[in-house]
Structure 1
Amino acid sequence: MFETLSQRLGATVERLRGRGRLTEENIRESLREVRIALLEADVALPVVQALIERVKVRAVGQEVLKSLTPGQALVKVVRDELTALMGTANAQLDLAATPPAVVLMAGLQGAGKTTTVAKLARFLKERAKKKVLVVSCDVYRPAAIEQLRVLAAQVDVGFVSAAAGARPVDIARAALEQARREVADVLIVDTAGRLAIDAAMMDEIKALHAALKPVETLFVVDAMTGQDAATTAKAFAEALPLTGVILTKTDGDARGGAALSVRYVTGRPIKFLGAGEKTDALEPFHPDRLAQRILGMGDVLSLVEEVERKVDQDKAQKLAMKVAKGKRFDLNDMKDQLEQMLNMGGLAGLMDKLPGVSGLPDSVKSKVNDREVQRMIAVINSMTRKERRHPDLLNGSRRARVARGSGMQPADVNRLLKQYQQMEKMMSKISRGGIKGMMRQMQGALRGGGLPPGAGAR
């Protein structure tokens, strides 16, 4: 998300950052470029106008023009105003109610509502340690109830089945009673969607809201619909007392207009971002962190949280002890590292959170893809256990056999082994206490347009 916007804004702020002095003319020209970048990102026009006006007021005042580093001061103003536009801080779910706390999900058909119910259930179960039940009141879409039942089993939460021919309100009331009997902490209710907003749809969800009295009413909307996402969210906010918004399919949205528009247009906070089809692909929305990513500053906090949550700590500890003892880093270790990288969202997902990456040339960023990582894993899988432990055994005939077994060419095997050797050297430097030298080497590679080992493309 925000690739185009980040590139445009990044180029603008970089020109300003190094200037010892700014004039009102400089600022006006820069804000014109920011305005064009926002409009191209499909941000709603009223949102663009409000943002530019607020930045202009602060920029031409004492805060920037009188600053010792006016270029950096203006970048800070833009970051602060982007953050304020999206809601300042993460708005958490308010589940402080007599159990079960009911969460009602609303949205149009095709926004990913049912999948988001499962994602949210998993999030609350794993991170908030809540006992969660889910129920579907969508009696119109074929197999909607069955879809949620399958997803509930995947994320290991309770599912409330519905009687054949039951009305949505009756299904909801029965689910609430069951949640009370089972002493569930949270009941998440999926509702029917339509291809467009209509009176019957709104009447039904209003009746569900009245019957359930939910503590959270969340609107689920597809980020790729751009300005339409904000318009649809506004229509729902006028009909229902929404408490927040969940943006889905953000991994397919290169512009990011919805994320920048929804809060301003609806007055409701974005609480979560959905990025991907897997049930763990739901993250809390942090406006301050996202503003930094838009401006190319990275999102190290989210990256650290992701590493702590998704990296296998036992494997990491064993590898650290192995390296510390001076034992050789082998291909089994390399395979573990590659698999954990994919588990954290892949190379592109990791690089998106690193500071300065948005400034790298497109020719470099285009080479960062998970397909190459998967090919490398396939090559390692084609080796014997002995070959993985002792890569030096891989002579010409063995490499040809591994290539055939993995469906690759000998050149692919050679490339993998070269990248393995680079990683092994890096690990040996750590074991000798040379981590500072290793970090300098990595920074030099990035400045020179290089890539970390394993990130190359065919």
Structure 2
Amino acid sequence: MFDNLTDRLSRTLKNISGKGRLTEDNIKETLREVRMALLEADVALPVVRDFVKRVKEGAVGVEVSKSLTPGQEFIKIVQAELEAVMGDSNEALNLACQPPAVILMAGLQGAGKTTSTGKLAKLLKERDKKKVLVVSADVYRPAAIKQLETLAADVDVDFFPSSADQKPIDIVDAAISHAKLKFFDVVIVDTAGRLAVDTEMMDEIKQLHAHVNPIETLFVVDAMTGQDAANTAKAFGDALPLTGVILTKVDGDARGGAALSVRHITGKPVKFLGVGEKTDALEPFHPERIASRILGMGDVLSLIEDLEKNVDKEKAEKLAKKFKEKKGFDLEDFREQLGQMKNMGGMMGMMDKLPGMSQLPSDVKDKVDDKMFNQMEAIINSMTMKERQRPEIIKGSRKKRIAAGSGVQVQDVNRMLKQFTQMQKMMKKMQKGGMKGMMRNMQGMMGGMGGMGGFGR
């Protein structure tokens, strides 16, 4: 997400430097570039106009502090305005009411309402320790009811049955009565979607909303629709008292226009981002972290949260103990590390959150893709445990067998073993030099990725 915008802004903001003061003349060209970058990212025109105007007002005549260059000062102003456009901070769900707290999910067909219902149920159950009930009021698509039932089983939350011959209001009434009886904390209602905003659909959801009076009404919208996402959100916002927005499919959106437009156009906060297909791929929306990511400064706080959530602490301790006892780092350890990386959204997901990654040459970035890591994992999976523990025994015939088993060429196996040897050396240096030793070698490692052409191509 934001790849194009980050690249364009990083190039643009490099140009404004060496000035003792920011003036209208010396920021004119930079502002024009910022405007073009936002328009190319499919940010809505009124948002772009307002944003550029506010940055200009905030920048012109500002004395550059001794600790900052004009470029840094300007970036500070741009960052503050990006945060203001998206909302000052994360707005959490308001569940402070007599249980059960009812959350109504609204949106167009195909936006990801049902999937988001399952993801939100999982998040509330695991993070907030809530007892959650999900129910589908989508009587027009029996497949949607079945899909939610399957998702509920996957994330281990309760599902309230419904069928296509019932009225949405009756379904939700019955679900809420059941929730009261069984002491549920939260009921999430998945509603019907249409392919476009239409009067019949709006009237139905208005009636349902008035009858149920949910504490949260979340609009679910596909980020990849760009400006349309903000316009559709406004149409729903005019019809319903929305309390927030869930932007889905942001992992597939390189532009990021929706995230920057929705709050400004609807006045409603983005509360969550859907960042993948997995049931745990729902992140709280933090404007300050997203602004930092857009400007290529990374998002270390989210990366730490990902580590906390996804890294198997037992395995990590086992590896640390192995290091301490100087027993080395073998291919089985490497395979486990690749698996944990996958759980954190893959290498691209991690790189997106690391500071300075936007400065990496594009040829290096292109080669560090997740296909490469999937291929490495497949190669290791085709080895015996003995081979994983003692890679030095992998010679001619073994290489042929491993290549055949993982669907690659022998040269791919050779390349993976070479890369693993580099990783081993880095781990040894880490044993000697600790964290500083690792940080010194990380840069070399990223450069070394450039020599991995062929993987995932």
TM-score (norm: length of structure 2):
0.96
Matching residue of 2:172: 172
Q: Which amino acid aligns with 1:86?
A: M
Matching residue of 2:379: 379
* 1:444 positional shift: 4.6
* 1:327 positional shift: 0.6
User: What CA deviation, in whole Å up to 9, does each residue of 1:228-269 have, x standing for no partner?
Assistant: 111110111111110000001111111111100000000000
* 1:357 positional shift: 1.0
Number of paired residues? 456
- Cα distance in 2 between the residues matched to 1:300 and 1:282: 17
Q: Which amino acid aligns with 1:44?
A: A
Matching residue of 1:451: 449
Q: Which amino acid aligns with 1:308?
A: E
Which range moves more in the overlay, 131-140 or 22-31? 22-31
Q: Which amino acid aligns with 1:278?
A: K
- Cα distance in 1 between the residues matched to 2:19 and 2:445: 27
* 1:163 positional shift: 4.9
Q: 1:58 to 1:89 in 2, by over 3 A?
A: same
* 1:437 positional shift: 3.0
Matching residue of 2:270: 270
Unaligned runs of 5+ in 1: none
Matching residue of 2:93: 93
Matching residue of 2:128: 128
* 1:306 positional shift: 0.3
Which range moves more in the overlay, 315-324 or 60-69? 60-69
SS of residue matched to 1:247: strand
* 1:63 positional shift: 5.1
Alignment of 1:38-117 (within 5 A): 38-62=38-62, 64=64, 69-117=69-117
- Cα distance in 2 between the residues matched to 1:455 and 1:102: 51
Q: 1:152 to 1:314 in 2, by over 3 A?
A: same
Matching residue of 1:388: 388
Q: 1:97 to 1:441 in 2, by over 3 A?
A: same
- Cα distance in 2 between the residues matched to 1:235 and 1:250: 21
* 1:321 positional shift: 0.8
Q: 1:15 to 1:444 in 2, by over 3 A?
A: farther
Q: Which amino acid aligns with 2:265?
A: V
SS of residue matched to 1:366: helix
- Cα distance in 1 between the residues matched to 2:451 and 2:189: 45
Alignment of 1:3-402 (within 5 A): 3-17=3-17, 19-62=19-62, 64=64, 69-163=69-163, 165-402=165-402
TM-score (norm: length of structure 1):
0.96
- Cα distance in 2 between the residues matched to 1:105 and 1:63: 48
* 1:441 positional shift: 2.5
RMSD: 1.8
Q: Which amino acid aligns with 2:439?
A: M
Matched, 1:440 2:414: no
SS of residue matched to 1:25: helix
Which range moves more in the overlay, 47-56 or 392-401? 392-401
SS of residue matched to 1:159: strand
Q: Which amino acid aligns with 1:395?
A: K
SS of residue matched to 1:6: helix
* 1:405 positional shift: 2.2
Q: Which amino acid aligns with 1:138?
A: D
Which range moves more in the overlay, 257-266 or 193-202? 193-202
- Cα distance in 1 between the residues matched to 2:329 and 2:444: 23
- Cα distance in 1 between the residues matched to 2:249 and 2:156: 23
User: What CA deviation, in whole Å up to 9, does each residue of 1:370-428 have, x standing for no partner?
Assistant: 11111111111111111111112112222222222222221111111111111111221
Identity %: 65
Q: Which amino acid aligns with 1:25?
A: D
Q: 1:256 to 1:155 in 2, by over 3 A?
A: same
Q: 1:56 to 1:71 in 2, by over 3 A?
A: same
